[in-house]
Amino acid sequence: MSASKGAAREVIAIDGPAASGKSTVSRRVAKGLGYLYVDSGALYRGVTCAALAHGIPGTDTEGVLRCMAEREFAWEVADGAVTFTIDGVRPCAELRTEAVNQNVSPVAAACAVRVQVVEWLRGMLCFGSLVMEGRDIGTKVFPDTPYKFYLDANPEERARRRHGESQEPVSVAEVSASLQRRDTIDRRRAVDPLKVAPDAEVIDSTGMSIDDVVQHILNAIATRRAEST
Ligand code: DC
């Protein structure tokens, strides 16, 4: 994949903490614009999943890197998104297990893992214009994009939303504790921590409907385009 092939293409960066509504909103914004959706967190989850399948915990960075080098990660476009396969198999539900939730933050905090994942993410421009959600899309992966949004919501609402999506028998309090633990690691890690890009628009989605947030972002993109022509 070559990022240079896609130099004229656009990226909409949507960053924010876990369960802030990024995935649903980003998918809908991508559909509205006719762009491809990318869930960058799924790549960190995929790496974690591959490592766990070989008995390697997320804290074993050497083991995780070895596993990344030995597995074949490949990209494909499906259902309006750029997705990936690992050794020819597209992971789905296994990306969202509690085991992956527990192990993914240390994987995502490892510098060498991030260097590889950022390169993969930049390369996805070869497929077309993108709406990419994550933690460092506006600050690190595509810092030059003029379209940056930072979605947030209060911790109680985020815990309620994530609990509603969970397939496992966990309480809201457990989900809340897990979210807070991951937020802290994501915000405090040395490499590309979760933070608001100086030129990002912050949207607090607490009490807003998905439709409202999507429409707000589409309007902001249209305004920015009109201002730059
Ligand atoms: O968005 P998510 O919960 O699926 O992300 C999984 C993990 O990956 C989480 O610990 C944050 C991290 N991540 C990251 O560090 N950078 C990104 N661009 C996306 C996710």
Query: What is the spatial distance between Cα 128 and Cα 122, in angstroms, rounded to a whole number?
Result: 11
Among the listed residues 108, 134, 111, the one whose alpha carbon sits nearest the alpha carbon of residue 122: 134
pLDDT reported for residue 7: 47
Task: Give 56's pLDDT tier (boundaries 50, 70, 90).
Answer: very high
Query: What is the spatial distance between Cα 108 and Cα 161, in angstroms, rounded to a whole number?
Result: 23
- In the 3-class helix/strand/coil scheme, how is 35-79 assigned residue by residue? CEEEEHHHHHHHHHHHHHHCCCCCCCHHHHHHHHHHCCEEEEEEC
Query: What is the spatial distance between Cα 107 and Cα 42, in angstroms, rounded to a whole number?
Result: 12
pLDDT reported for residue 98: 85
pLDDT reported for residue 4: 43
Task: For residue range 23-54, list pLDDT tens digits in order.
Answer: 999 999 999 999 999 999 999 999 999 999 99
Task: Give 195's pLDDT tier (boundaries 50, 70, 90).
Answer: very high
Q: What is the mean pLDDT of residues 103-127?
A: 96
What tokens appear for 145 in the block?
A: 């994009």
- Please, what are the domains in the chain? 11-228 (3.40.50.300)
> Ligand 1, from 186, 187, 189, 194: best to mutate by most atoms within 8 Å of Cβ?
186
pLDDT reported for residue 170: 81
Q: What angle do CA 165, 68, 46 make, to 5 degrees?
A: 10
- Cβ of 40 below 6 Å from ligand 1: yes
Task: For residue range 135-153, list pLDDT tens digits in order.
Answer: 999 999 999 999 999 999 9
- Cβ of 135 below 6 Å from ligand 1: yes
Evaluate whether 170 touches 111 at the Cβ level (below 8 Å). Answer: no
Mean pLDDT of the chain: 92
pLDDT reported for residue 216: 97
Name the more confident of 170 and 91. 91
Task: Give 6's pLDDT tier (boundaries 50, 70, 90).
Answer: very low
- Can you name the residues that pair with 147 across neighbouring β-strands? 12
